[in-house]
Structures are given as structure tokens and as C-alpha cells.
Amino acid sequence: MLSFDAEKHLYRVDGELIDSVSRIVSAVTGRNYNDVPVEVLERARERGVTIHKDVENRTGLTNEGAWVLSHVERFEAEKMGWAEYKGIKFAGTLDILTDEEICDIKSTYSKDLFGWAIQLNLYNLIYPRKRLVVYHVPKSGNFSVNSIPIFGEKEFDAIFAAYAEGRILKMDFTQEEVSALDLQVTKMDLGVLETNAKAILEIVDRKLEGYDPEKYSEENIQEAKRDKADLNNAGKKLNTARLELERKWMEPFMVFKDTISTACDRIKQASGKIDEIVKEVEAREKDKKQIELLGLWTGISGGKISYGKIAKKEWLNKGSKIAEIKKEMVDIVERIDKDLKVLARINEPDAMAIYWENLDVSAALDFADRLKKSRQEVEEYKADEIIEESVETEVPSVAVEAEEEKEVEEVLERTVLIRGTVEQLTRLADYMNQQKIYFKKL
């Protein structure tokens, strides 16, 4: 006896818990909706439930329900059942079951023919029917009827083997979906053109022996001109016949070529339109993720640091998980805190400003070193100027007083290198001036 726990979505046969069709489909296709926001899933679920109830109750109050009901008449709705395939028991609930068809209602934004094919074929193991159909009723209003190919034992073996081994099936495990677009040649007769072309060539070769250029001279120039005209006319006539035959021969191929070219163009146009939708959806997803990351960073950084200074393009990729990005953001905040402590010790406001431009502590420290060196050079320059000014103002008085000395003492000269601060060099210059010691800047 089959029972179903709607709250937990669990099926049991005689009390034994068995797999569900939806679980098998999700496992072998890899389809999941973990990245879709809960509110989006909930809205989609509510819309789907409304449409299914409308069809089940045969009321046709929604556009979707009325459209589906226009395609089916006598049917059972929400038909539950179970089956066993090579030791694996599973159960499911069919949307619509008629005498000859299994029909499913899909209200998703886009088509998933791969998943739908597996789902309806599993239903077909429970209630075998001649046809499988999906009524696709997206919110866009572009409703469609989708015929699903019926699988054989080979396909079912592949499905259940993948499920048992925890593998995801490739879409090409069955060629049913793509065979309609594979070019097939049903008839091509080559080499059946029968003409007298070889006979003509043989005749031409024989006749050309009579047109030997050596037989012509000034005496029979008129004959030469007639023969030349005859040959040209014969060649032109033959070539015209060839071109006409070539046109007729190529006509069916050109029709085939134009037909395939048109099909390729339409496929390209359809792909381009879908690509626009894909890009638009991806852009919206990135914008939504950007807003989420901005809020996350504001909470982690306390709003003290602009998100634009630390944002990375790869964070917006689908493969970038929020948890990993959050850890990276925490690491960034910790690194900034360490950098600020280092810069606080050198006490250089200008270097701090450089750091906030790009959050590069090495660049800020390099700038601080250059700033310190520049200041030292300025101090040394000022010290030299002070000494030079002292020499210019004091030397004359030393010289005058030296002339007034009655007794001339021996004068010695020494060259020394003096290094000190501006204040020290200034005091030294004052002292030497007081002692009447001559000095000059070298």
C-alpha cells in the first residue's frame, strides 16, 4: 500500500520508505535551487500550486489553467503511484493522466527538456502510456506543448546506474533531443549524368588535326579567319550547353544549401535572443550579489572603509561563495588594522593619506622614507647657508682686528668635517666667530 507524507514529501510502500521521482531527477541531473533566494522560490511555488489547482478542479480561472484545459479533456489529476526497476523502488505524483498520455504542467521561466524527459519517463514506468507531454506555461505568456521522447531499457539502465553511483548524467546520454537537427541524407544519386561529352572530345581531337596552324599563310588568310570563327562558335556553343546543364545539376543542391543556411540563420537568431536574456539575468544576479556584498562589508568594516577600495570582480562570479568572500573580507580588515598600527608608529600624516588611496602599506612607507630624506636634505642646506652667512659677516672684523695686533702669532690651518643639527652648527659658528677663528664653507 502506497502512502505519502505531504509535509516531508516522503513516499512509503507498506511502511517502507522509498525514493521519489523528483529525488532521482535531481540526483542524476544535478539540478538544485540552493542559490535561488527563498522568496523567489516561494513565489514560484505559490504560482505553480495555483495553476495546478485550477487544472485539477477544472475551473480554468487562470490563463494558464484555461490553456492547459483546452488541450486535455478526460483525465485524472494528481495521480499517485509507484514502481520498481531492477531493485530500486520509487514513487511519484502525476499532474495529468489520460488513457494515452502522461502530461505534466511546468510553470518555470525556462525549459529543462533534459530533466523533464527523465521525470516523465520515470512516470511512464509507473503508468505506461503511448505519449509523454509537457505543457510549459511560463509567466511570460509564451506557452508551448513539448513532446517528450519515450526511453527504452538502455536509457533507464543509464539513469538508475547513475543514481546508484551518485553520478550526474550528461545530456547526450540519449541522442533523442538532438537527432531531429542532425542532417540526414535520404537520397543522393551521384554519377548518373549520361552525355556524349567523351564522344564530342574525340571528335574535336580528330577535327583539330585539320586545323594545323602550318597550313595557313598570307595566301589563304580568309580561310584561316573562317576556320577561327567556326572554332570559336563551336566552343561557345559547347560552353553554353555546359553552363545550362551545370545550373540544372546544381539546382536541387542550391535549394538544399539555401534551406540549411536559412535554418542556421534562424538558429543563430534564436540563440542570440536567448543570449540576451541570459546576459540580462546574469547582470541582475550580479547586481543583487553586489548589494549583498556591500551590506556584508559594511557590517564587517563598520562602514569606515569604502567597499569600492576592496571590491574584486571575481567575487561576482557564480563560483564565488558568500562564505569564502566573507572570510576574505575579515582578513582584509585585519590586514588594514595591522597596517594602520605600523603607520601610527612613524607618525607621518602624509604617508597615512597615501595609504588610504590604495591600502598599500609598502607604498606609504616608501613615501615616508622619501619624505624623511627630503627633510634631512633641507636641514643640511639650511645649515650650510647659516655657516656661509656667518663667514661673510664675521671674516672682515677678524681681519681688521688681526691687523691691529701688535704681536703676530703663528696661524695654523686645519681641514675638518663637521656634522650636526642646524642648532648645533649655528652654535658652533657663533663660537668660532667669538673666538675670532677664521672658517669658510668648502
Mean pLDDT by 10 residues, the chain (442 residues): 86 91 90 67 87 93 92 91 92 94 91 91 95 92 89 91 88 52 57 74 77 77 83 86 85 86 88 88 90 90 85 89 92 90 84 83 86 76 65 50 56 77 76 77 68
Residue 287 in grid coordinates: 547586481
What would the DSSP string read from start to end of 351-401? HHHHHHHH--HHHHHHHHHHHHHHHHHHHHHHHHHHHHHHHHHHHHHHHHH
DSSP 109: S
Residue 417 in grid coordinates: 668635517
Task: Count other Cβ atoms within 10 Å, centred on residue 437.
Answer: 10
Instruction: Provide the β-strand partners of residue 148.
Output: 132
Contact criterion met (CB below 8 Å) for 176 and 154: no
Contact criterion met (CB below 8 Å) for 62 and 54: yes
The whole-number pLDDT of residue 172 equals 67
Contact criterion met (CB below 8 Å) for 112 and 25: no
DSSP 146: E
The whole-number pLDDT of residue 43 equals 84
User: What is the sign, positive or negative, of the torsion defined by CA atoms of 54, 60, 61, 63?
Assistant: positive
- Burial class of residue 438 (count of CB atoms within 10 Å of its CB; 0-12, 13-18, 19+): middle
Instruction: Provide the β-strand partners of residue 145.
Output: 135
The whole-number pLDDT of residue 309 equals 85
Tell me the Ramachandran region of residue 283: left when phi exceeds 0, alpha when psi lies from -120 to 50, beta otherwise.
Answer: alpha
The whole-number pLDDT of residue 342 equals 86
Helix or strand run (H / E) with residue 2 = strand 2-5
Strands 101-106 and 131-136, by their bridges, are parallel
Nearest to 21 by CA among 121, 105, 102: 121
What CATH number does the domain located at 2-179 have? 3.90.320.10
SS3 breakdown of the chain: % helix, strand, coil, rounded to 5? 60, 10, 30
Contact criterion met (CB below 8 Å) for 68 and 108: no
Residue with cell 561563495: 321
What would the DSSP string read from start to end of 139-207? TTS--EEEEEPPP-HHHHHHHHHHHHHTPPPPGGGS-HHHHTTS---S----S----SHHHHHHHHHHH
Pinpoint the alpha helices (H) of 17-107: 21-29, 38-56, 63-69
Residue 311 in grid coordinates: 571590491
Q: Which residues are within 8 A (CB) of 68 and not within 5 positions of it... i.e. 6 or more apart?
A: 51, 55, 96, 105, 135, 137
Sequence spans of domains, the chain: 2-179, 202-276, 361-434
Task: Count other Cβ atoms within 10 Å, centred on residue 89.
Answer: 14
Residue 352 in grid coordinates: 597615512
Nearest to 92 by CA among 17, 22, 31, 5: 22
